[in-house]
Structure formats: structure tokens, C-alpha cells
Structure 1
């Protein structure tokens, strides 16, 4: 653990964890990669022979990937002889016949999308694993590739308790539509439902990130988190994203950091009309939701009517 990093999402100094295998420094509060420039200065050797024979160190070969089988997805370079002279087999030609080529390209696309969303390597690897399982089951034959990969990333985020909205996934899925991504998510849930424990996304899962996008202070974020947690005790039949957006709107109206409805809509991906409807449902319960330490009862009467 280390507390010397300032997290841009949390807007505070938070405890972090260093993933030495990837060089990423990860915030323990929101899973944001706060730094990815760590360099491991220890030995490069991958394997060692017996200590009595220190000359058999191995430093060649690419990193293995358990999802690609024993070959690790690397196309071999074959050297043969013709008339006693060596003839080099084209590396490009060998790669063209590599059975793992399509899988490697898919994994690369997932890595690129995960990087743009600043997701930790654990989520990236989980998405790759989901895709590999779908491919082995032949469940995605004929389905749009980019949409399937985006859906795998969406499900992986949910499984690793760092959910992202469909809009956020869509923003990095070049060429895929929200409809196709949604259909691909349904395929994953049907095909792998017995082995996946996605659970249900809650409004609080998105709150800290949304507040960060809006540049809210720590005190206001803390009040918003407590308020959204209090909504779980009420029978509010609204989508988690709508509840989160409505809570943010309510909290900011009681502070000096008032936010326009359109700004909250952009940060959360929830339509302004939907936020208004959710706010209308929450408004009668303001006294139960808003921490008294943040806004006394007389201030609650100043809340705008829905």
C-alpha cells in the first residue's frame, strides 16, 4: 500500500497498490490507474537452471499467455536447408498461418479499449478470458466483432466490481452501435449465465466517478455517497444511473457547487428528462437522504420543487 499518489478521480490522496507485473499503480478507492511508468529494475531472466550451473539462464522468447495455449500465441521462425544452404522461412508467412492470430488481434483490441477507459489489467484479462470462452463455444459466429469485444469488457467491469455504463463502453468501441453492444451483452449473459455472477449494479457504484467528472469537492462527494446509499432503503423504482444522477443534482443544489442539469447529463450519460423524473421521486425523501451534517433541515426547504 502507498498513500503518496493523488487520484484524479477521487480528487484526493488515496491508498494505492502497485501491480509489479504490469507497472501500474492502482487507486484502491476507484480502481483508476494513477501511474503506469513503474520500471522493474530487477533481473530480466525468466528462468534459472540449478544454482550449481549458473550458465543456463534463459532470457529469450515472448511472454506466455495461458489463454493462447502452450505456444503462447507466438508464430515460430523455422529454418530449413535447401541443397545444404539455409533457407529462411518468412516470419510474415508463418504469422499468416498462426492459429492464434485472430485471438491475438482480439486481445489487442480489448487492451486498447481498456487503456482508453483507464481500466486495470485485471479487468482487461477478465474480458479476454470471457471472449476466449465465447469463441471456444462458437457463440459469436457471425456477430459484429467490435460489439462483442466491447460487451466482454462491459461484463468484465461488472464482474470485477468496477462497472462502467454502456455509454462509456460505447465511447471506446469504434464502429459498434449501442444496440449491437447490448445484444452482445445479452448473448454473454445467456451463454455463460451459469458461470457468471455479475450481480446488480447499484447507483453507488458509479457515484464517485461521476462526481469526479463534475469536479466536485471531497465534502460534496462524501455527502453524495451517503445520500445514494440511503436510497437503497427506499422503494425507488428507477435505474441506478438515473438515481445517481438525481442524487448529484439534489446535493449540488444544496452546496456552493451548483451544477447545471445539462452538465450532470453529460457526465452521467442520463437524459435531462430522466434526471428530472428521478429527482421528482427522490425529492419527498430529501430529509432521509441528505446528511444533516451537510445540509440542515431549514436548507432542505430551499430545494427546488420537481
Structure 2
């Protein structure tokens, strides 16, 4: 590798050769070693794929995780190319040894996998991992359903980051835990962590779900804007329904007077809200339709197209 530097022997700026293997920096003009035993801080790439045809280089060592301590430095005994253990006794000894970070590693991998399936950003993954780490530090995870705890951590992290997901959405990517178990785990985590400090959860509002739900339904920008304004105006009325139910019912209301109507079944699938629940919320919103639907959207359309809710 060539670069320019000042050589005290040549008394001028000359090109030098950096020998990374020896750690020497040598002047290309006079051969003077300007620097010896320097540390190469660039990435080191090597291949350890003896038992496969994959020759892509892999970074030596994984990224440092501040939540794991020295867990990333542990040694794992691999298998020989023929499939047999290099030393079965060493493998048994390793598996027998207690690794205090093993549970954390499993939880973090589960969090990363679930978050990827929900297309969540890295900040939410990190927040969920921090929440689980706090639980592990308090020694309160033993004997509890790992999948339910991990799902609840992701749910809480989404709430805290202002990117709320429904419990049904979390449940859809969790294997081995029901919606009720995830809900109970969420309540347990909030109660447990409130002992040390406040567990801040952002209040869920109907507008938190709209963009994602409308995108899932392929609604136009005009329809999305109408839905958003309708949700804001609906907040002035005492509609005692869950935020997600109100959001789904308003989407159903707007699509009824739109050029492209959406079937109730499609709205139910996109919002994870049962059809009966949407109908009940719509029944409460229907009397206020003329007041909550924006005039700019309703004046070119006939509100009579809104179907009367069935009793």
C-alpha cells in the first residue's frame, strides 16, 4: 500500500510502502524503516468454510454487543468435515458448562428474528433487547415462556419508539405463545420493571396504525388524508372503543364513499380486527359521520352511500 509521508533520511515527502504483514512502514526511496510493529486496524477477512463450497470471506469475530459482556469471546467446538465431532468429550464438557449469557443469546436471536419478520428498525430491536436484559438482571425470567417474553418485549419496544404494533401482529410471528400469553407477559414486564424505575409506554392513538393499515389496503393518498382527518375529528367525541377498532371502523367508513370500495373482510385482514368488532365501532361512529368526515372529501360524494349499521 503506497502513501506519502516525510522521510527524515531523504529530507522530503516521499512515497512509503506499508507492509501490513510485518507492521513496517518503509521509505520507497532509501529503504529506511519509518515505523516498525505498527498495528493494522483495518478489517481482517478470512474463510473458515472447509466443509462447504462457500468461499465468501467472513469477518473474524462478531460485532461487540454491550449487553452480552464477554459472551462473544466464547469458543465453540465445530464438527469435522466428515460430520463427526473433533472430540466428543470436549463437546459434552462444553455443553455441560453453564454459560450465564446463553439465555441472553437465545433471547436476542429470537428478538432479531421476530423483528425482521415484522420489518422493524434496529432501534426497536435494541430497545427490546435492553428490556429483556433488564428482566434477566432481575432474575425473573426463569420458568417463564421465552417466546411470550420476547414477543412482549418487542410489543413494548414498539410502543416506546412510537411505532405501535398490535398484539395480534406480534402473535402472528411468535411460535409457541398465544395472544393471551403475550398479553400477560406484557403486564408482567411492565409491573416488574416499574419496581426500579418508570416503564414509560406511549399512549396508543388510532392514528398510530393508520399509515400501515392504509398501505396494506392500497389506499390512495387522498383516501389516507381523509382517514387521518376523520380520526382527528373523532377524538372530539366520546367513542369508547379501542384505538385500533376506531382506526379500522373509520377506514371502513371512508372506503364506503370512495370510488374503490374495500370489502369488510379485506379491512379485517389488513387491520387484524375482527369483522364484528369493526361493525360495533362503526355503529358508534355512524351518528357523527357528517361531523367527522372532512367536508372537502364528502362534498363531492354522497354520504347516503354509508350503510346503516345493523342493530
Please give the TM-score of this superposition, normalised by the length of structure 2: 0.73
**Helix, strand or coil at the partner of 2:141:** coil
Q: Per-residue deviation at 1:292?
A: 1.2
1:105 corresponding residue in structure 2: 106
Aligned to 2:67: 67
Q: Give matches, 1:1-306, under 5 Å.
A: 55-58=38-41, 59=43, 61-69=61-69, 71-76=70-75, 94=94, 97=97, 98-193=99-194, 194-296=197-299, 299-306=302-309
In the alignment, is the contact (CA less than 8 A) between 1:243 and 1:278 conserved in 2?
Answer: yes
Q: Report the Cα offset of residue 73 of structure 1.
A: 3.1
Instruction: Measure the CA separation in 2 of the matches of 1:106 and 1:261.
Output: 38
RMSD of aligned C-alpha atoms? 2.5
CA distance in 1, matches of 2:114, 2:239: 34
Quote the offset at 1:165 in angstroms: 0.3
Q: 1:161 and 1:95, CA in 2 relative to 1: closer, same or farther beyond 3 A?
A: farther
Larger Rg: 2
Residues 75, 94 of structure 1: 8 Å contact kept: no
Cα distance change of structure 1 residues 255 and 96 upon mapping to structure 2, 3 Å threshold: farther
Return the offset for 1:94: 4.7
Aligned pairs, how many? 247
Deviation at 1:145? 0.8
Alignment partner of 1:266: what SS? helix
Specify the SS of the correspondent of 2:305.
Answer: coil
Deviates more, 1:205-214 or 1:194-203: 194-203
CA contact (8 A) 1:73 1:104 kept: no
Given the superposition, is the C-alpha separation of residues 52 and 235 from structure 1 closer, same or farther in structure 2, using an over 3 Å criterion? farther
Q: Relative to 1, partners in 2 of residues 1:104 and 1:262: Cα closer, same or farther, differing over 3 Å?
A: same
Q: Which blocks of at least 5 consecutive residues in structure 2 are unaligned?
A: 1-33, 44-59, 78-86
In 2, are the aligned partners of 1:116 and 1:172 still within 8 Å (CA)? yes
Question: Any conservation in 1 of the 2:256–2:305 contact (CA below 8 Å)?
Answer: no
Runs of 4+ in structure 1 off by over 3 angstroms are 51-54, 58-61, 88-98
- For 2:300 and 2:220, how far apart are their aligned partners in 1? 22
Contact 2:245 2:278 survives alignment (8 Å): yes
Structure 1: give runs of 5+ residues left out of the alignment. Answer: 1-50, 79-87
Shift of 1:166: 0.5
Change (3 A) 1:73 1:65: same
Q: Which has the higher contact order (CA 8 A, sep 6+)?
A: 1
Q: 2:157, 2:182 → 1: CA distance?
A: 14
Distance 1:61 1:284, change over 3 A: same
Distance 2:249 2:201 in 1: 25
Per the TM alignment, residue 135 of structure 1 is displaced from its structure 2 partner at its CA by 1.2
Distance 1:90 1:209, change over 3 A: same
TM-score norm. by structure 1 comes to 0.74
Q: Check conservation: 1:238, 1:278, Cα contact below 8 A.
A: yes
